[in-house]
Amino acid sequence: MIHPIYLSVIVPVHNEATRLERCIEALLPELKQYRHEIIFVDNGSTDNTPRLLEQAVCVYPSVQALRVSERGKGNAVREGMLAARGRYRYMCDVDLSTPASEIHRFLEFTRIYDVVIGSREIRPERTHTTPLRRFTGRIFHALVSDLVPGIRDTQCGFKMFRDVAAESIFENVSIGGMAFDVEALHLARVFGYELKEISVPWVIDEDSRVRLVGDSLEMLYDVTQIKPIIDRRVVT
């Protein structure tokens, strides 16, 4: 099958009016060598994000904008992954805490593996974050490690999927919130896809939308729902 698009980049956004232009300007130089599309998925923004996305679509030929009314990063990423047309599909955060230049490394590995996962834990010295966030992340990982054995960092927002893997995984992802990564990677294991975790540089954005306590509790609840959902799918 000949793909009209080689690489799709999916960027979930919620109230990101101040960062959209910077994100696009960082991505485009790295993507120009590929047939590509950038899909921004607006996840219920209440600021100027929707209008700025409309303008970006008019200015940049490769930029697309989708809107998902139901809040939740998982909902936005799922919508973007299933709308994408690329042979390779890269999800990234709008703050590009892992630089856009890392896309090329992800592609090198995704030509071999079905799913490539950015990790802040393989070489933690490349990660610049707060001690509390690092501690919270490691506690969360300890609680979900049975669902994703061998994966050190499920929650890094930078991952790449081959098209077939992306479609079969995200057609079955049911968690709409931030714990969707755990379900997606667990499904990848269940479906027999080959996973590769690679070290990435990562710098915390002080304007992060993550609520350390509230989001962590919500994610832990969502994770408790994963195994029953998947068990029913495997049985049927």
Q: Rounded to an integer, what distance in angstroms lies between the CA atom of residue 119 and that of residue 129?
A: 13
Mean predicted confidence (pLDDT) in 170-194:
94
| 43 — pLDDT class (breaks 50, 70, 90) | very high
Q: Would you state the pLDDT for residue 214?
A: 53
Mean predicted confidence (pLDDT) in 1-8:
82
Q: Would you state the pLDDT for residue 158?
A: 98
Neighbour count for residue 183 (Cβ, 10 Å): 27
pLDDT tops 50 at residue 234:
no
Q: Tens of pLDDT along 48-67?
A: 999 999 999 999 999 999 99
Q: Would you state the pLDDT for residue 149?
A: 86
Mean predicted confidence (pLDDT) in 10-38:
97
pLDDT tops 90 at residue 32:
yes
Report which of residues 34 and 3 the model is more confident about: 34
pLDDT tops 50 at residue 233:
no
pLDDT tops 90 at residue 100:
yes
Superfamily of domain 5-235: Spore Coat Polysaccharide Biosynthesis Protein SpsA; Chain A (3.90.550.10)
CA-based diameter of the chain, in Å? 48
232 by Cβ neighbours in 10 Å (0-12 / 13-18 / 19+) ranks as exposed
Where are the domains positioned within the chain? 5-235
SS3 197: strand
Report which of residues 129 and 148 the model is more confident about: 148
Q: Would you state the pLDDT for residue 142?
A: 66
Mean predicted confidence (pLDDT) in 217-228:
65
8 Å CB contact between 71 and 42:
no
What is the pTM assigned to this prediction? 0.87
Report which of residues 156 and 228 the model is more confident about: 156
